[in-house]
Every structure is written in C-alpha cells, then in structure tokens.
Amino acid sequence: MTGAGREPGRGDRSERVAALLAAAAAPRQRVIDDHMFTVAREDYLHPATATFRLQLFTAPGARPVAVAIQHLSDDGALIHERERYAEAVWRQHCPGQAEPPIWIDRLILPWRDDERLTVLTFEVAGPYQLGEASGETRITVPEITALLGTTPDTSRGTSFRPHPPEPDPRPVYKIEWVLRIPRPAPFRNRGCMPPRSPWWRDVMRQLVPRRIARPCCWMHQGDWHQVSRTAITLVRQAQQDGIADEDIYEHVVAQAEGAGITGWQLGALDCLVNSADGIQLDTDDNRRRFFINGQHKTRAMLDQGVRRTIIVQWQWPSP
C-alpha cells in the first residue's frame, strides 16, 4: 500500500510531477498555518522536540496536502525524520483518513536562497504509521500551485522563533599533578612518544627529576619544570587579579614578555596556556578523563619528572 506522495510513474521528474497533478490536483484551501508546529521526539537518544512551519490544504473529496518548511536553526532535522513528522500531522490534523496527507517539504539553508521543495513517497505500515520514505521528487512552486489551486507561502513565517545562539564555552585553567593526568596514548609512534611507557619509569622521574634537553623534537628541547612554574605563578596571579578566563592566555603571555622571557621558554609557555593548544582534558560518561590535546607536552613533562603544571578544561554555561 502506498502513501501520500506516491511515485506516479517511473519516468523523469517532470513526468512524475505531471502524473501527480493528474491524480491529485484540486482547488484546496489553506486550513492550517502553524508557524511553530511541534513534534515530540520519543527517541531516547534525541528526546528533544522538533519544530517547523506547517501549512495544510484541504478540499472536499481531495487528499489533504501538507507543506512543511523548516529552517536550519529549527529543532530536529526535518530531512532525517520526515516519516515521524508526517505521522504527527496525519494523527493530529487528518484523523480517520486512510492515508496521510501528500507531503511536501523545504529545508531553508542560510547560504542558499533558491526554493528547493520536495514531494515525498511513504509506505503506509498502519494507522498513523509510515515506513521510510521510498522516493522523493523535486517540485516547483508553480507546480505546487497547480496541485493546490492556490500558492503556499514558502518562507519560514513571521512567527518563527529561532533557537538563541549556543553560548560559547570558557576555558578554565587548573593546576594539576602531572601524574594525575591521563597517560599519553599517541596515535603515531615516534622515538620520543612510544605507544606504551612503563608507569614505574614515570614515577621514578618524579623522584629523580631531569632537566636535560633532548634533541629528538621541539617539545623535549627545554626545561618544562621552569615553564610550568612560571605558568602556575602567572595564571594564579591573573585569577587573583580577576582577569576573565578567556583573557588569561593573552595576559599571561604579555606578563611573561614583560619579564624578559624569550625563546623556547616563551614558546613553551605560550603553547601551555593557549586555550587552543594547551593540555586539554574532558570526562566521558564513566567520569574517566581523556585527552583533547596535549599528549606530547605531557610526555615531555613525564620524561623530565615535572610534578605540577597547568591544564585547560572547557566549561559550558548553564542553559
């Protein structure tokens, strides 16, 4: 059994649209124009609601036609869950109908100003139950007008309420024991970044620290003991002075330059307190911490026996 938007033939786009018009064209009236039609999503992974503009066109003895228009900033991806949304319109606004309304939709993308409207084919699995869309056909506004006997509004509508922009996270600088940082597990094997390093060696380095530079790479070419001490001192002072978290990096680098720090030490300090390049950690669902960035720096610190350093964690504002 085929639902609304049935592919009326196997020809090209114009032939399919012509067959649809021959089978379903009728003068209809717009009976619903809901600019924020809302569908509850029951998927436990994505339980939020979905929103879009719904225009429903009906006529006695003719199949209803639903025109759904969604903006990219709407809740719920229309193009991924059309079946669930068409079911909701069928259940709420066309009860008792053996088939769902003919379904036409449009996703408005900010970078594309053309009107890309699509008529969908659904398989009917039961009352208010649709299978996956089995076909879709591009349809133009004049062709929709021929189908409806009137022209739909293809905009998102004046009552559209876009989501407020997501707040930016802020970097939070913390002093951390290096041995408490997750052990590096590099994705590529290098001489100074072995895939596995014995834990006891890192503990021994804490008892007998090293300050000798190694020529293997830039990260191992300087004294991370001094860099970490400087970073801790300057970050702590910036926090005590009330410097905003997002401004700490530039403030610390300026203070270091003012103190005459140059060369490798300044570069290492920069990449340690830079919120985009520092040792960044996050926590998984099991509260285990993992690296976002900074494995090589951490390995160099472990090799030298550095005890404390600065890490960066991102904090999202409460909704």
On whether the CB atoms of residues 10 and 28 are closer than 8 A, the answer is no
Report helix, strand and coil shares of the chain as percent, to nearest 5: 30, 30, 40
Residue 220, pLDDT above cutoff 80: yes
25 lies in the same domain as 131: yes
Helix, strand or coil for residue 292? strand
List phi, psi (to 5°) of 230: -65, -45
pLDDT in tens, 77-90: 887 888 989 999 99
286 occurs within a structural domain: yes
In whole numbers, what is the pLDDT of the chain averaged over residues?
Answer: 87
Q: Quote the crossing angle between the two packed helices 295-304 and 224-240, to the nearest 10°.
A: 120
Looking up tokens 């408490």 gives 180
144 lies in the same domain as 175: no
End residue of a domain, out of 98, 118, 148: 148
- Structural domain of residue 184, as residue ranges? 170-315
* Count of structural domains, the chain: 2
139 lies in the same domain as 179: no
Residue 3, pLDDT above cutoff 60: no
Residue 2, pLDDT above cutoff 50: no
161 occurs within a structural domain: no
pLDDT of residue 285: 78
194 lies in the same domain as 267: yes
User: What HEC string does 231-288 produce?
Assistant: HHHHHHHHHHCCCCHHHHHHHHHHHHHHCCCCHHHHHHHHHHHCCCCCCEEEECCCCC
CA-wise closest residue to 281 among 167, 166, 198, 180: 180
On whether the CB atoms of residues 102 and 129 are closer than 8 A, the answer is no
CA-wise closest residue to 248 among 294, 311, 308, 181: 311
Q: Does the model's pTM come out above 0.85? A: no
* Structure-model confidence comparison of residues 192 and 221, the more confident one: 221
163 occurs within a structural domain: no
pLDDT of residue 228: 96
1 occurs within a structural domain: no
234 occurs within a structural domain: yes
Q: Strands 289-293 and 102-108, how do they pair? A: unpaired
Residue 47, pLDDT above cutoff 90: no
Which of 21-30, 117-126, 223-232 shows the lowest per-residue confidence on average (mean pLDDT)? Answer: 117-126
37 lies in the same domain as 138: yes
76 lies in the same domain as 42: yes
The arrangement of strands across the sheet holding 308-315 comes to 170-177, 308-315, 280-283, 289-293
pLDDT of residue 189: 53
128 lies in the same domain as 28: yes
Q: H or E stretch including 85?
A: helix 82-93
194 lies in the same domain as 292: yes
138 lies in the same domain as 85: yes
| Alpha carbon distances (Å) from 41 to 32, 55, 62, 71, 105 | 22, 20, 30, 18, 19
* Number of neighbouring beta carbons within 10 Å of residue 212: 8
123 lies in the same domain as 227: no
The residue count for the chain = 319
160 occurs within a structural domain: no
Q: Quote the crossing angle between the two packed helices 295-304 and 199-207, to the nearest 10°.
A: 50
Find the mean pLDDT for residues 258-274.
Answer: 95
156 occurs within a structural domain: no
Q: Which residues contact 228 (CB under 8 A, 6 or more apart)?
A: 272, 301, 306, 308, 309, 310
282 occurs within a structural domain: yes
140 lies in the same domain as 186: no
On whether the CB atoms of residues 72 and 83 are closer than 8 A, the answer is no
105 alpha carbon, distance to own chain's centre: 23
On whether the CB atoms of residues 52 and 173 are closer than 8 A, the answer is no
144 lies in the same domain as 42: yes
* Number of neighbouring beta carbons within 10 Å of residue 187: 7
In the structure, what pLDDT confidence band is assigned to residue 179 with cuts at 50, 70 and 90? very high
